[in-house]
Chains A and B, each alone.
Chain A
Amino acid sequence: MASRIFGSGIKRREDPRLVTGQARYTDDFVLPNMVHMAVVRSPYAHAKIKSIDTKKAASMPGVLAVFTGRQMKDAGFGPIPCAWVVPGSDTKTPPYPAIATEIVRYVGNAVAIVVAQDRYQVRDAVDAVDVDYEPLPVTVDAFRATQKGAPQLHADVPNNICFHWHVTGGDVESAFKTADVVVKERIVNQRLIPNAMEPRASLAQYSSASGEVTLWTTTQNPHIVRFLLSLDCGIPEHKIRVIAPEVGGGFGSKIPHYPEESMVIFASKALNRPVKWTESRSENYRATIHGRDHIQEVEIAAKKDGTIVGLRGKVWANLGAYLSTASTGIPTILHGLMLSGVYKIPNIHEDVYGVFTNTTPVDAYRGAGRPEATFIVERLVDLLARKLKMDPVELRRKNMIPPFKDGYTVATGLAYDTGNYEAALDKALKIADYKALRKQQSDMRAKGQYLGIGMCTYAEICGLGPSQVAGAVGFGGGLWESAIVRFYPSGKVNVFVGVSPHGQGEETTFAQIVASELGVSVDDVEVLHGDTDQTPMGWGTYGSRTTAVGSGALMGAIQKIKDKAKVVTAHLLEASPDDIDYADGKFFVKGSPDKFKTIQDVALMANVAWNYPKGLEPGLEASAFFDPPNFVYPFGAHIAVVQVDAETGEVTLKRYIAVDDCGRVINPMIVEGQVHGGIAQGVGQALWEGAVYDDDGQLLTGSMMDYAVPKAAYFPKFELAMTETPTSVNPLGVKGIGETGTIASTPAVYNAVADALAPLGVERINMPLTPERVWRAIREQRKA
């Protein structure tokens, strides 16, 4: 399969339209007769709706209509579905009305919608909708919400506990009883706001004549949205067209099917005009899902020589006020099952409580459960190293799973595909010049300066996933993928895929695959995605699956094309199909390489079918579906070097080394870009980001003035390297890389800061490690 194009960092096919401003994002679309929708949202975190007076708003300039939840319900629109219910966890699924009718449960909960001619008029009218609320008591903390006396959000969900899930492997009780040393920690993996740069938007055009609706929406998975809309909008699936146009980032926050998608359809149907809604950034902070928000009480048990014998924990996972599309799977399946990390931990147990609180719903955000798991493991390992006075590198080495090519099953039951953890660690240590760093650290300590070195060795579960497993764990859909490869008479190619990239570059990498496999020029391949009318059913782009799973389908279709091309070539060259071989763009007779046809020759003949095998269907097009037999498990080792100003508490990231293994690499430039972006977000969690609610459920970090999305000047140049350990899970041997940077960097940076402050006796500080938090931690230790 060796070819110059596969593995080459070629320029992206996506970029010309993006750098010239020609790309069309959802808010860029203007349809004839289009009107604008705005949502009236609750300013209270928990309240009864006593009355809604829409008269004043309805009479304002340009306003066409004001609708309430009751009207939407009467029009046949049902609650927003939850598409993941994990079996064996006693999950309660209280209804999530698109527009609240009786009770609002979080600041931002929709209570009415206004439709007007333009976005200025509709904004004015929102303020004129008069809602009379009766405030109710509020609960925002995932632990406190489960305690006696806490306000109850939903009927039939006692103690606000949505589910209780657990994972067990081995016998933790004995392990902890017989261990030489146990280290406990309480970790707050704080709530984050995803902050994709493009705010969400939806534009619906309903046609009463045909009963069809087209929805342009900022989604990572148009087919899933179509499916869920068919469940809550009363419109059958085959009459719904969902289009993800250019989408400006998602990071998981554009996976869910959101209430606004149903609202614009409802309004379009009611008014018989296209209706567009676009959120403002402040609205996004309240109406678009948040990430993380775990309270974790965890502990690790080991022998005195450092051999880890067990790990267990209890987690209270904040779900927010309602279940979003995938909410329940994130802190369970995608989290607890990864508690072995890269180590041989024979005994593991975790209890996870999913808890409702009066906050914005929580769902998948870059890493989705794995950052929360990796942080536990890597933090406990560092704490254990400190307790045993062992170098954290040596402790990791001692417990690492040795290299494997044919699977390794961990105590939680997951079968990792391939791994070589120590090689990645060694490479990272070499690039960092670990010994020199430790010397630099001790020299600086002598001068009262605090340098910290932290690391994270990780494996993560992605390439979602085997559909049987999806079903078994309660995911409401499949996780296979699809591709159609279509050759035109002129030899050009369109590829239609069920995945839905929004910055990850598959228009380029999939073209590279076709070019590499079939000898066409990359410029002759156009990859199309995002339009459910145009593409085969698929499950979208998230969970680092687009290439790992999508390429499997693409390869399947390519193989069918190759097989057919051999038959056509055989006919043209008067040979037997078994005598036709393929290499470097040529289908040739074995032993007579000068007797060949190119794929373009084949495409033309297959499309005109003049000189053609009897009984063979014309055309050169194939579709394939790929259901991966397993997840894929990329891995790596990251090292962060920080300097802490002990007087001001300021933390500066001085160096960041990332060694990652995502199996075979199609485009190294694109892979590096994913790692860069992932690292930035993970460092953001460690040092600057955090969504904060007060006790009344008001979002204190309510805009970009308060929530610190990291800026360029906050980072050094990242030092990247790779190892390549192919997977056997898909034909190309590719794993995922979209989330690894985020998963690894939060613990790497946190461990670095802890390492810097170790001589001052500081061990635990809650993230983000703001200057004030670091300063207080140092001060408290000085007092003690």
Chain B
Amino acid sequence: MIPAPFEYYRPKNTAEALKLLQKVKGARLLAGGHSLLPAMKLRLSSPGALVDIARIKELSGIKSVKGGLQIGAMTTHAAIGASDVVRKICPVLAETAGNIGDLQVRNRGTIGGSIAHADPAADYPTLMLLLGARFTVTGPKKKREIKADDFFVDLFTTALKRGEILTSIYVPAESAAVYLKHRHPASSFAVVGVAAAIAMKNGKCDRVAVAIGGATAVPVRAGAVEQALSGKEPTSANLDRAAAAVAQAIKSPLSDSYASGEFRTHLATVMARRALTQVAAKAR
């Protein structure tokens, strides 16, 4: 219930935050705190110092830009869920954000914090993978852009280097995508989360994207499913056949006392078919 002692800093801007990360030994970034603080309260994590960037204004905000949205890393789930701009340009993002955790969590949790934390049971990473998001990462010397495809490396591990801050997220526009999740009845985290998008052309599936989270250490694109459906009509039989290929994407599934790896793989298959069915109806 009570964290071990630590030092606390609240920099006024990103530059100051970067300096602190360099200077202070064992410093970790604090965003919404709803992943980090619970871990610290259980003493599963005891960083020597926290650098609070949640209130840095330049890190928050939602802008409509060419081809999509530019979202500040410190933008809360509640803000994203309620944003008319997001609802217009990428409704699945608003729906997903509005369904993370609970009302109180959404008021504090941030998109950047969630993505940088890379919890396999989180929702954003799966969606970012589906949408082909790009992350702006600011380091002490330079900025770089990392594709979502390359960002999630392992359980709670990302491509962020020591001293870097995820500052902004570019989310491509997407009008017909769906994210379904099977919520853990206690924690509400995604036991399995499936995101799907289809772009149609002449009554056939032109571009298909399916991303699966929760079942493995990092979210994965189900390439075999995408290929199986690509160029085909979204008939029930074709959707069934495509979804059956989900298992190929899931290697070494996670397992716990609520859901085994085998069950997660099965759920992912069912949910993929349902997501594709829903999104095919939307895409028409």
Contact = CB atoms under 8 A, between A and B. Distances in A.
A709 B258 CA distance: 14
Interface stretch (B87-95, B164-172, B227-235, B262-270): B262-270
A647 B270 contact: yes
Interface stretch (A72-80, A323-331, A699-707): A699-707
Interface stretch (B19-27, B104-112, B123-131, B181-189): B181-189
B257 A692 contact: yes
B259 A707 contact: no
Given A123-B1, A282-B42, A705 B257 contact: no
A123 B2 CA distance: 7
B260 interface: yes
B263 A124 contact: no
Interface residues of A, number: 29
B185 A708 contact: yes
B65 interface: no
A709 B263 contact: no
A688 B260 contact: no
B116 to A, nearest CB: 21
B258 A124 contact: no
B110 to A, nearest CB: 21
B15 interface: no
Closest 8 CB pairs of A and B: A708-B185, A708-B186, A280-B1, A772-B263, A123-B2, A705-B187, A647-B270, A688-B185
Given A123-B1, A281-B1, A705-B187, 16 more contacts: A119-B2, A124-B2, A127-B43, A280-B1, A282-B42, A648-B270, A648-B271, A688-B186, A700-B257, A705-B186, A706-B257, A706-B258, A708-B185, A710-B185, A771-B182, A771-B263
A709 B270 contact: no
B4 interface: yes
Nearest to B270: A647
Interface string B23-43: 000000000000000000011
A701 B2 contact: no
A775 interface: yes
Interface in B250-284: 257-260, 263, 266-267, 270-271
Given A770-B258, A775-B266, A706 B187 contact: yes
Interface in A704-719: 704-710, 714
Contacts of A701: 257
21 contacts: A123-B1, A123-B2, A124-B4, A124-B5, A127-B43, A280-B1, A282-B42, A647-B270, A648-B267, A688-B185, A688-B186, A700-B257, A704-B187, A705-B186, A705-B187, A707-B186, A708-B184, A708-B185, A709-B186, A772-B258, A772-B263
Nearest to A704: B186
Nearest to A118: B2
B2 A120 contact: yes
A682 B256 CA distance: 24
A706 B185 CA distance: 8
Name which of B5, B43, B182, B258 has the most chain A CB atoms within 10 A of its CB. Answer: B258
Contacts of A648: 182, 267, 270-271
A293 B259 CA distance: 22
Contacts of A124: 2, 4-5
B187 A772 contact: no
Interface in A744-784: 770-772, 775-776
A564 to B, nearest CB: 54
The listed residue with most A CB atoms (<10 A of its CB), out of B2, B43, B185, B267, is: B185
Nearest to B271: A648
Contact of A775 (B186, B187, B263): B263
Interface in A239-290: 280-282
Contacts of A281: 1
A704 B186 CA distance: 6
Contacts of B5: 124
Nearest to A702: B42
A648 B260 CA distance: 13
A693 to B, nearest CB: 10
B270 A706 contact: no
Interface of A: 119-120, 123-124, 127, 280-282, 647-648, 650, 688, 692, 700-701, 703-710, 714, 770-772, 775-776
Contacts of B260: 772
Contacts of B182: 648, 650, 771
A123 B46 CA distance: 14
A770 B184 CA distance: 10
Contacts of B184: 708
A771 B271 CA distance: 14
A701 B258 CA distance: 10
A692 B271 CA distance: 28
A123 B263 CA distance: 39
Interface residues of B, number: 20
A127 B270 CA distance: 46
A703 B1 CA distance: 11
Contacts of A282: 1, 42
Nearest to A701: B257
Nearest to A649: B263
Contacts of B186: 688, 704-709
Nearest to A692: B257
A499 to B, nearest CB: 32
A40 to B, nearest CB: 15
Contacts of B257: 692, 700-701, 706
A63 B258 CA distance: 41
A775 B1 CA distance: 36
Interface in B234-260: 257-260
Contacts of A120: 2
Contacts of A650: 182
Nearest to A648: B270
A605 B182 CA distance: 70
Contacts of B258: 706, 770, 772
A281 B38 CA distance: 13
A484 to B, nearest CB: 41
A775 B191 CA distance: 15
Contacts of B187: 704-706
A260 to B, nearest CB: 16
Contacts of A771: 182, 259, 263, 267
Nearest to A710: B185
Nearest to B274: A647
Nearest to B187: A705
Q: Quick one: which of B182, B186, B263 has the most chain A CB within 10 A?
A: B186
B227 to A, nearest CB: 24
Nearest to B43: A127
Nearest to B4: A124
B186 to A, nearest CB: 4
B234 to A, nearest CB: 19
Nearest to B263: A772
A771 B187 CA distance: 16
A36 to B, nearest CB: 11
A710 B186 CA distance: 8
A540 to B, nearest CB: 29
A276 B260 CA distance: 42
A281 B1 CA distance: 8
Contacts of B1: 123, 280-282
A682 to B, nearest CB: 16
A335 to B, nearest CB: 28
A558 to B, nearest CB: 47
Interface in B169-221: 182, 184-187
Contacts of B42: 282, 703
Contacts of A280: 1
Contacts of B2: 119-120, 123-124
Contacts of B270: 647-648
Nearest to A126: B2
Contacts of B271: 648
Nearest to B258: A770
Contacts of B4: 124
A770 B1 CA distance: 29
A700 B186 CA distance: 13
A189 B259 CA distance: 21
